[in-house]
Amino acid sequence: MSTTCGTINTVYKVCQQNGLKEVFPAIYTALSIGLTLPVSSSSPE
């Protein structure tokens, strides 16, 4: 596997394509959570 993992999205896609969900379920879950968290939060003024 000669891919460059530059972003969390790339790592997630590699895990998904290669069936690593069954091998590393905790890492797959952490990646899923990391991709769904908001990057920034806003507050009303």
Question: Mean pLDDT by 10-residue block, N- to C-terminus, for the chain (45 residues)?
Answer: 70 86 87 82 73
* pLDDT for 12: 85
From the list 34, 37, 18, the residue with the least C-alpha distance to 26 is: 34
* pLDDT for 28: 85
* pLDDT for 5: 58
* pLDDT for 37: 80
Q: Where along the chain do its domains lie? A: 7-35
* pLDDT for 1: 54
Look up the pTM and report it: 0.60
Q: Say what the alpha-carbon torsion angle 8, 14, 15, 20 is, to the nearest 10 degrees.
A: -150
